[in-house]
Every structure is written in C-alpha cells, then in structure tokens.
Structure 1
Amino acid sequence: MPVSSCGLRRLELSVAEPELSVDFFAGVLGWTVIAEPGGSFTGWVGDRLATHVVAGEEGWRIFFGGDEPRELKENSFVDGGRVLHGPWAPPPRHGEPCWVEFMSGEPDDEYWTRELGWETRPGTEEFVLFTSARHGDPRPVAGRLKTTRSPGWQTYFAIDDVAAACAKVSELDGRVLLEPTTVPTGLIASVEGPHGGACVLLEQPKGWGGTWSS
C-alpha cells in the first residue's frame, strides 16, 4: 500500500485563457500573480503557492503529495515534494486552497483509499470523509460526495467574506452557481470564472476542511 498522502502538493487550472483566468481569480481571491515561462501563471498568497494556471481544457488538476509520482484517474495525480495544503499545513489564509471533495454518482472509495493510503471515517451513503494518518493521529484530508454530476474533484478556497466575494465574482463577469449557503463544511458558495474554473468558496475556515478540522 502507498504511504498515506497527507494533503495537496499543488493545484493546477488548465484553461483556454490562462492570463484572463488568473486575473479573474486574483481579483476574487487576492492572489499575487507571477508570469511563468511558456505562457503560464502562478497565483500566490504571501510566500505560499495557491495555484498554477496553464493553457489547456482540462479544468482543475489536483496533485496530492506522495512518495511515488504517478497519474490517478479523474484529473488527479501524485507528486513528490513538500505538501503545501492539508491538515498538517498552516491554517489556510484568504485565497488559499482549503479542502477538496470527490464528486461522483458512483462512489469508488476503495480506489482512493488504495491509491492514496487513506482510510474512511464512518459516514453516510451520500458523504464520506477520507482521513490520513501519515503524521500521527488520523485527520480529515478529503471528502467524497455522491451527486448526479460527472465524476471529478471539487476544489475549495478560503475566503474572508463569502457574500462580498460573490459580489466581486459578478462584478468581474463570473457566475455565482450556488448562492451562499451553510453546509456541514461551513458557509460556502460555488462560483465560476468567465473562462472556466468552477470552484467553491469557504468562509473563514479555521483549518483544512473547515468544520471537519475540529
């Protein structure tokens, strides 16, 4: 079994208009943007990398930290190096990744536990918490939500004020897909940029996974 992954190594957004997309999310999430070689861009919160935006059409690509770099299914990967975001990383600041959930109508929990060395915490048919014990006590590292949508990973970003962020999304010609609402993770809204990159905003999470971190 692979050594348990304890969080995200990095996030990558693959879209047709990288510069326009990174400018949109920087406006909403407060990133500092740096132009990288090859027409890609990085978004930073202080000295921590929030995401890498590249040309393509694949949407969000998730790279979990691990000892054996490899490709997983559903636009996710294992990558070596220091984990930047997760239950043992510093608390997420405004604009940083703060949670991920696998959305699927046909859950395949055994695949993720096998590939990433996670365990599951007892939940419901609709929702399960994946936990990692890589650094000691098991902590929530990701979620799985049963839905009718196509399979894929949903990314969450920490935000100081969800309502204000939604207003900014509309001002910058993005779409608010789900108005602010309270779920077990906390107060969230779902948004999408004018050039793609739908994600969830989570208001003031005190740790990785919002209320799941307690």
Structure 2
Amino acid sequence: MASIPLGAPIWSDSLTTELAADTAFYEGLFGWDSENAGEEYGGFTTFSRGGRPVMGISPCPPGEAPSRSWNLYFNVADVAASAELATRLGGTVVHGPEEVPGMLRFAMFTDPQGAPFGLMEAIDPANGFGVWGEPGSVSWAEYHFDGAPADAMRFYADLLGWNAVTPPWEDPANPRPYAALSPGGGGAEFGGCHAAEGFEQGLPPQWSVMVAVDDADAVCARAKELGGSVAAEPMDVPGLRVAGVAAPGGTVVAIHSPRPWE
C-alpha cells in the first residue's frame, strides 16, 4: 500500500477478554495470519494478509471493558499537537498521548457527539495499514449521526483537514445529505457519514470499520460456525450488501460485499 495521507485512516484495533478465541475467529473468518508480540507488548496481536498488516487485537487492560466495535485511528504528523487541537474543538482525550517506543504515538478521544476515535503518529512509517480496500481488509469507514452529517463532520474537517462533500447522487431536497470524506491534502475517498435511520436512531453516534468480503451472506454463516454471531443480518444498500458480525468476545465489525446481481 502506498503511504497513508495525513488525515486518512491509518489503523484499527480492538480490546478483548477472549484473545485466543477471537484470534482463531478472525483467522478463520477472513483468512488472516496472526503474530502475538508477547508479554512485553501486552499480548498485542497483529493480523496480516499476505504479509501486510490489517488490524490488531489486544487483551483488555485491568478494569477496561472489551471493545464494542473496532477502534479507528487517523493519521497525524504530531499526535500531541493534534490532541491539543481536538480539545479546543470540543473533543475529549480519553487516553494518552502514549508512545510505543520507536514505533508510534497514539491517543484515544471522543468527538463532540461522543463517538470514540483515535489519532496515530507513525514514528516508523512501516506502521499502519499495509493493505486497504481488497477483499479481507479494511476498506471503508462509516459514521452515523442522528442529525445533519455535515454538522458532525465539521469537527473532523477542522481537526484533520478533511474534504467533506455532498456527492452528486444525493437528492438536492434532502435536508440531511450524505457527507463523502477524503483527505484534504489529496487521496482517495475513504468513508462517509450518513444520517441515522431506523434502529440507528436509538444508538449513539459512532464510527463503523468495514471489511470487504466476497460474499457477506457466506461470511455471516461462517461467523456462526466459528463461534461468533451475526450482529446485523445482511441487507442491501445502493451497490452493496452489508452486515455485522461479532467475535466470540463480543466485538462487532461491519462487512460488505458487492450485491450478487451487480
């Protein structure tokens, strides 16, 4: 994968109380390889596809709950300076900034709407996603918000320099149009924000990390066989079939595949 633009998603990970079970689940579900860094790094396990890093998983530190969904981190040049800016813009620092010596610096936040997210500064440029957008890898970041997407994304545009634009397919009469997201310094569209609908209106605003798969229905069936569960049954959206699967430890990740007739 080419270098990750500033402001773009750079990494995803999760905390679990079931490290062995969740590791086996993701290996079987997505065909990933795993490498445990050992006790020195708290048992952090990196998943890869064809030798390219995809995401990570770590045992819960004492007193912390497992992740409800995968954490999403955005690329910054200086995590300490970005943390100060995030606070001035109405965000809240939850953890850090913290350094993994010689590798990276990171911090966790909630945005003004309460949605969690992370920022990461790669000291070693080899850190971060090694693959993006291929089957079996993270390919999209989606945010839902019970309001106008542009309002929720203003914080991120000010913090990370994003372009948040209304796509040409959006209905001009829609008072809460979709916001398509891309790095301000150039780079491909990496995600979007949509107005909450249906059951989402009862959920807090949040990011969903999405993994591309060849067949969402088949992956849901395989998730059950591997000891996980289906958190959101497959459904069709324009151009895609989407679903949510939960690992044995309870963490949910979204998946998407092309609709079979398209």
TM-score (norm 2): 0.67
**Counterpart residue number, 1:192:** 246
**Counterpart residue number, 1:75:** 116
Q: Distance in 2 between matches of 1:14 and 1:160?
A: 26
Letter in 1 for 2:136: G
**Counterpart residue number, 2:140:** 99
Q: Distance in 2 between matches of 1:185 and 1:112?
A: 27
Instruction: Considering fraction of residues, name the structure with more strand.
Output: 1
Task: Give yes or no for contact 2:133–2:140 (8 Å, CA) kept in 1.
Answer: no
Q: Distance in 2 between matches of 1:196 and 1:44?
A: 21
Task: Give yes or no for contact 1:6–1:141 (8 Å, CA) kept in 2.
Answer: no
Could you tell me which runs of 5 or more consecutive residues in structure 1 were left unpaired when the two chains were aligned: 206-214
Relative to 1, partners in 2 of residues 1:97 and 1:40: Cα closer, same or farther, differing over 3 Å?
Answer: same
- Per-residue deviation, 1:84: 4.7
Q: Greater CA deviation, 122-131 or 112-121?
A: 122-131
- Per-residue deviation, 1:158: 1.3
Q: Distance in 1 between matches of 2:253 and 2:14?
A: 11
**What does the per-residue CA deviation read over 1:11-62, in whole Å, with 9 as the maximum and x for residues that have no partner?**
1111222222121122111110111122221111112111110122252221
Q: Distance in 2 between matches of 1:185 and 1:21?
A: 30
Letter in 2 for 1:121: V
**Counterpart residue number, 2:179:** 128
Q: Distance in 2 between matches of 1:101 and 1:191?
A: 16
**Counterpart residue number, 1:203:** 257
1:142 maps to 2:191: yes
1:35-184 equivalences under 5 Å are 35-37=36-38, 38-56=42-60, 57-59=65-67, 60-69=70-79, 70=83, 71=107, 72-73=109-110, 74-81=115-122, 82=125, 84-85=128-129, 92-106=133-147, 108-122=152-166, 124=174, 125=176, 127-135=178-186, 139-147=188-196, 148=201, 149-184=203-238
Provide the identity percentage: 21
Q: Greater CA deviation, 143-152 or 28-37?
A: 143-152
Q: Distance in 1 between matches of 2:144 and 2:116?
A: 12
Letter in 1 for 2:120: D
**Counterpart residue number, 2:30:** 29
**Counterpart residue number, 2:94:** none
Task: Give yes or no for contact 2:7–2:161 (8 Å, CA) kept in 1.
Answer: no
Q: Distance in 2 between matches of 1:197 and 1:121?
A: 31
Number of paired residues?
197
- Per-residue deviation, 1:131: 2.1
**What does the per-residue CA deviation read over 1:43-83, in whole Å, with 9 as the maximum and x for residues that have no partner?**
11112111110122252221111212244423312212348
Letter in 2 for 1:150: P
